[in-house]
């Protein structure tokens, strides 16, 4: 909300012209591999497939009335969009070293906690991998932020009116 | 800055009234438990996307018009364009006796009525948007005005789609409506548009309902009708998350999807994101429920749980990480099957695009997807607090906890803090 240009509401920093270099994206080893695989598939398989489909659709004649052509073009733009996104992530990716039992919670840590008396387990990941329902919590979320730097035995409270307390049981 | 966010919160709550505002046209005609204004707006949004794709119109504008077109119903709920004519004590009786009356106002009166209605609605829109920051207020007011006066091609087209949705719904209620009350819906479309595509489709619809699907010659139209009817089911899929918490008469999936799309536009629309993607993801994220019904992440443990209240105070996905992953993938497969069935009649091009965006959303593989998912949960939280304010026994804690793990966009996180301030900290709350 604090927009230095005074442009106001709901325009986040990234939209401003003086955009600094993208911050490092911390990825787990697993996350990086997954992205690389997807990238390979997109650039080596899907890209070729869609180019072939476009070429074939052109043969049908007038491209203005050719829905097969439109579909292929749309798919192509989807693929290219995703390729660009992955490229940007990979350019800024930093793999998190996972060394046995960790002392403090960091991006990549697998954390066992007690939340208000119930046991829970998740991995702290960067935003691009985050999905709490799959046990991946973003390092930028309030819970992620509060846990980073914590040690086993620490009790971390995520502050807001309704409080939740995370007791760190184990860090891997 | 604080104040501005609070104004958005109040605005979203006002817009949320559309989820429980029953459309009076149906109430008047004696339909039991009819759709709400948000339900209607939701399917207009779908129509705008589907039919918009066949045109060279500005798709972004069409979607925005669909989101805005019925906002005045937050404060004003008219029955029909001729409602003002029927200011007698028993409208129902009058309409029963003279169904054609609604269409046959003297020409002089028509003009006067339209003018008066326009002014009242415009006041309602201004009241609704008055506290919003200038560019947002301006955009909504302007789009609404465009829709009312049909100044742009997009507005003309959307007006026709709005009427088309009415017709579809009327046909779906056909068993509850007398035949002579159905006719006006068709003639209204004829009066409002000369678009051959829309008129032809309206005819196909009537045939479909009166003479059976085989009488519709165009295979494309027949399939499109089937898809639209599938989508219509979302108006009566009540959200299970509210039912299990004891909410009476909860919102439908359609209504929830409408406000999610609306909030996505408001909270993300000014960023560098693909606008179509965030709107489509918002409107289709629960589409599979048309076939498989709604579910909640508590479903697996609900039966076995003795202390339900305690259960709803905790996050639904506690447990081992591997277990969570497996559950989520299982769930995704079930939903994907449901989705495929729901969209199987959509033209191939749209079907593919929709499936892509849906998958993107479910797996969080794009920035748009990750942001829209957060909006979806923020919408839930606002709804939870609205229900809570009406009935303090409704458990809401988990909604707050969940957002602390999910929301990682700095602006949305701040918005959640503001929600906390608005709902929980302010005096008297």
Q: Domain map of chain A by residue range?
A: 22-95, 110-171
Residue B5 and residue A161: Cβ atoms within 8 Å? no
What is the CATH code for A22-95? 1.10.287.180
| Residue B239 confidence (pLDDT) above 50 | yes
Residue B404 and residue A164: Cβ atoms within 8 Å? yes
Q: Are strands A164-171 and A25-27 parallel, antiparallel or unpaired?
A: unpaired
CATH architecture label of A110-171: Roll (3.10)
Quickly state the pLDDT bin for A63 (edges 50, 70, 90).
low
Could you tell me which of A163, A155, A38 has the C-alpha nearest to residue A105? A155
Pick from B23-37, B120-134, B253-267, B409-423: least confident: B23-37
Residue A25, φ and ψ in degrees, nearest 5: -105, 115
| Residue B237 confidence (pLDDT) above 90 | yes
Q: Are strands A136-138 and A118-125 parallel, antiparallel or unpaired?
A: parallel
Nearest CB among A9, A75, A164 relative to B352 is that of A75
Residue A78 and residue B356: Cβ atoms within 8 Å? yes
pLDDT number for residue A66: 62
Q: Any idea which residue has 């559950």 for tokens?
A: B327
Higher model confidence: residue A100 or residue B65? Answer: B65
pLDDT number for residue A15: 46
The ipTM, to two decimals, is 0.82
Q: Any idea which residue has 């119903």 for tokens?
A: B73
CB B66 within 8 A of CB B212: no
A88 and B CB contact within 8 Å: no
Q: Is A81 exposed, middle or buried (0-12, 13-18, 19+ CB in 10 A)?
A: middle
Residue A42, φ and ψ in degrees, nearest 5: -65, -45
Which residues of chain A have a CB within 8 Å of the CB of B355? Answer: none
Alpha carbons B36 and B38: distance in angstroms, whole number: 5
CB atoms within 10 A of CB B409: 23
Nearest CB among B327, B370, B411 relative to A1 is that of B411
Nearest CB among A9, A130, A161 relative to B133 is that of A9
CB A53 within 8 A of CB A63: no
Which residues make Cβ contacts (< 8 Å) with residue B147, sequence separation at least 6?
B65, B68, B69, B155, B158, B159
With vertex at residue B205, the alpha carbon angle to CA B204 and CA B209, rounded to the nearest 5 degrees, is: 115
Q: What are the tens digits of pLDDT across the range B248-281?
A: 999 999 999 999 999 999 999 888 888 999 999 9
- Listed by number, the residues of chain A in 97-156 with a beta carbon closer than 8 Å to a beta carbon of chain B are 110, 115-116, 118-123, 127-128, 130-135, 137-144
**Residue B110: both structure tokens together:** 């028509």
Could you tell me which of B285, B264, B276, B399 has the C-alpha nearest to residue B332? B285
Which residues of chain A have a CB within 8 Å of the CB of B268? Answer: 10
pLDDT number for residue A22: 56
CB atoms within 10 A of CB B304: 7
Residue A132 and residue B133: Cβ atoms within 8 Å? no
Q: What are the tens digits of pLDDT across the range B80-103?
A: 555 555 555 555 655 555 444 555
Residue B267 and residue A10: Cβ atoms within 8 Å? yes
* DSSP assignment letter at A128: G
Nearest CB among A15, A67, A143 relative to B271 is that of A15
CB B428 within 8 A of CB A27: no
CB B364 within 8 A of CB A131: yes
Helix (H, G, I), strand (E, B) or coil at A138: strand
Alpha carbons B211 and B299: distance in angstroms, whole number: 42
For residue B400, give the chain A residue with the closest CA: A162
Nearest CB among A14, A71, A141 relative to B408 is that of A141
Q: What are the tens digits of pLDDT across the range B193-226?
A: 889 999 999 999 999 998 999 999 999 999 999 9
Residue A139 and residue B270: Cβ atoms within 8 Å? no
pLDDT number for residue B91: 59
Q: Which helix (H) or strand (E) holds B59?
A: helix B59-68
Chosen for mutation from B301, B405, B425 (greatest number of chain A CBs closer than 10 Å) is B405
Domains of chain B with CATH codes: 237-429 (1.10.3210.10)
A28 and B CB contact within 8 Å: no
DSSP string, B166-230: HHHHHHHTGGGS-HHHHHHHHHHHHHH---HHHHHHHHHHHHHHHH-GGG---HHHHHHHHHHHH
Which residues of chain A have a CB within 8 Å of the CB of B328? Answer: 131, 133-134
Please compute the mean of the pLDDT values over residues B399-404 and round it to a whole number. 92
């Amino acid at each position: 909300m604090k927009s230095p240009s005074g442009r106001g509401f709901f325009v986040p920093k990234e939209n401003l012209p003086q955009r600094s270099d993208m911050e490092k994206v911390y990825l787990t080893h697993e996350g990086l591999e997954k992205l690389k695989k997807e990238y390979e598939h997109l650039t080596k398989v899907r890209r070729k497939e869609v180019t072939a489909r476009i070429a074939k659709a052109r043969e049908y004649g007038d491209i203005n009335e050719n829905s097969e052509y439109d579909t292929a073009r749309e798919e192509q733009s989807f693929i290219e969009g995703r390729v660009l996104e992955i490229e940007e992530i990979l350019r800024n990716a930093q793999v998190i070293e996972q060394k046995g039992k960790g002392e403090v919670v960091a991006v990549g840590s697998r954390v066992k906690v007690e939340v208000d008396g119930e046991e829970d387990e998740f991995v702290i990941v960067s935003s691009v991998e985050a999905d709490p329902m799959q046990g991946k919590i973003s390092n930028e979320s309030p819970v992620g932020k509060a846990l980073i730097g914590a040690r086993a035995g620490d009790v971390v409270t995520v502050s807001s009116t309704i409080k939740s307390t995370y007791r760190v049981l184990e860090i891997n | 800055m604080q104040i501005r966010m609070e104004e958005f919160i109040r605005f979203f709550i006002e817009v949320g009234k559309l989820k429980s505002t029953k459309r009076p046209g149906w109430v008047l005609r004696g339909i039991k438990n009819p759709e709400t204004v948000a339900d209607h707006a939701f399917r207009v949004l779908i129509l705008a996307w589907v039919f918009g794709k066949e045109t060279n119109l500005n798709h972004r504008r069409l979607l925005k018009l669909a989101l805005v077109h019925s906002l005045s119903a937050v404060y004003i709920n008219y029955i029909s364009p001729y409602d003002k004519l029927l200011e007698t004590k028993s409208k129902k009786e009058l309409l029963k006796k003279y169904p054609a009356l609604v269409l046959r106002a003297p020409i002089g009166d028509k003009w006067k009525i339209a003018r008066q209605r326009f002014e009242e609605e415009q006041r309602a829109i201004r009241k609704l948007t008055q506290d919003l920051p200038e560019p947002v207020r301006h955009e909504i007011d302007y789009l609404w005005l465009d829709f009312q006066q049909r100044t742009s091609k997009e507005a003309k087209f959307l007006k026709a789609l709005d009427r088309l949705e009415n017709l579809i719904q009327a046909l779906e209620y056909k068993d509850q409506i007398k035949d002579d009350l159905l006719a006006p819906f068709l003639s209204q479309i004829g009066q409002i548009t000369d678009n051959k595509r829309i008129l032809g489709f309206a005819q196909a619809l009537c045939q479909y309902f009166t003479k059976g699907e085989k009488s519709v010659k165009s295979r494309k139209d027949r399939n499109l009708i089937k898809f639209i009817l599938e989508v219509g089911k979302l108006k009566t899929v009540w959200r299970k998350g509210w039912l299990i918490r004891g909410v009476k008469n909860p919102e439908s999936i359609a209504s929830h999807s409408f406000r999610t799309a609306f909030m996505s536009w408001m909270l993300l629309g000014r960023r560098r994101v693909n606008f179509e993607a965030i709107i489509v993801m918002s409107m289709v994220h629960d589409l599979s429920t048309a076939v498989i019904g709604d579910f909640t992440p508590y479903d697996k443990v609900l039966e076995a749980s003795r202390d339900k209240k305690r259960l709803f105070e905790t996050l639904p996905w506690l447990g081992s990480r591997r277990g969570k992953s497996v559950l989520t993938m299982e769930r995704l497969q079930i939903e994907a099957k449901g989705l495929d069935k729901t969209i199987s009649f959509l033209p191939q091009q749209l079907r593919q695009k929709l499936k892509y965006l849906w998958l993107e959303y479910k797996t969080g593989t794009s920035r748009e997807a990750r942001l829209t998912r957060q909006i979806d949960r923020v919408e839930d939280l606002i709804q939870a607090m609205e229900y809570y304010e009406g009935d303090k026994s409704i458990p809401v804690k988990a909604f707050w906890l969940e957002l602390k793990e999910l929301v990682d966009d700095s602006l949305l996180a701040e918005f959640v803090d503001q929600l906390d301030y608005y709902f929980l900290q302010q005096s008297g709350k």
